[in-house]
Amino acid sequence: MKTKVELKSFTIKQVVIPIRGISPLIVHNFDQKVIIEMEAKQQGKSKTEKHKIRIPENDFEGAKHKSPQGWEGFPAGGFKKALIRGAKMTGLVMKDTMMSFFVKADCEEKQLVRIFGDARMRTDMVRVGMGSADVRYRPEYLNWSAELVIEYNEGQVSLEQLFQMVMAAGYGCGIGDWRPEKGGGYGRFELNK
């Protein structure tokens, strides 16, 4: 006995949505050197230095998300998470929307969306475990922009809904450190018309 199965065809489309920052973007990538040191410590292979000398410029450079070609970016997954929150703000179901679109990376290897703008070093006091404080040197982009290349299933989410998600995400969620979703006001963006 043969069974006939009808498959719905997906209508996959792609759109480029340019955005620009309306508040500074603070990024904080884990420096590869720091990751290696943490792994060595966890594996009992490191010799702990009591007062390790830090070079702010090295921390600043290490906190950038960089492509192998040298340009700076932000994780595509971070943009996607912001847009999913934006979907909820516009009345869509987050779980359904999550599978309806993908933010394509400009750098596949590192999964980065390119950020246009120059970073400056900022110095912040931050709280770490057990109430102690530390100094962080992070990149901050005062004037920044990006182009989001979004692949989407038109049968699940419309182009109009995508634009609404981007606008809602940029206004109320943001990306990066100290974004509105986490109680700050950084990393906000709008459509770059």
Q: Residue for token digits 């040197």? A: 137
- 80 lies in a domain? yes
> Domain total for the chain?
1
Range of the domain at 107: 12-46+61-119+144-191
Average pLDDT score over the chain: 90
Q: pTM for the full model?
A: 0.86
Residue 127 predicted with pLDDT over 90: no
Confirm whether 168 is domain-assigned.
yes
Q: How many residues does the chain have?
A: 193
Phi, psi dihedral angles at 113 (to 5 degrees) = -100, 130
pLDDT of residue 144: 98
7, part of any domain: no
**In-domain check, residue 127:** no
Question: pLDDT tens digits for 27-65?
Answer: 999 766 655 666 666 677 766 555 578 899 999 999 999
* Nearest partner of 109 among 75, 62, 61, 152, judged by Cα: 75
The strand ranges marked E within the chain are: 12-21, 25-26, 65-66, 72-75, 101-104, 112-114, 119-127, 133-141, 145-153, 189-191
Environment class of 77 (CB within 10 Å of its CB; exposed 0-12, middle 13-18, buried 19+): middle
- Domain-located, residue 136: no
Average pLDDT over residues 62-88: 97
Q: Is residue 165 part of a domain?
A: yes
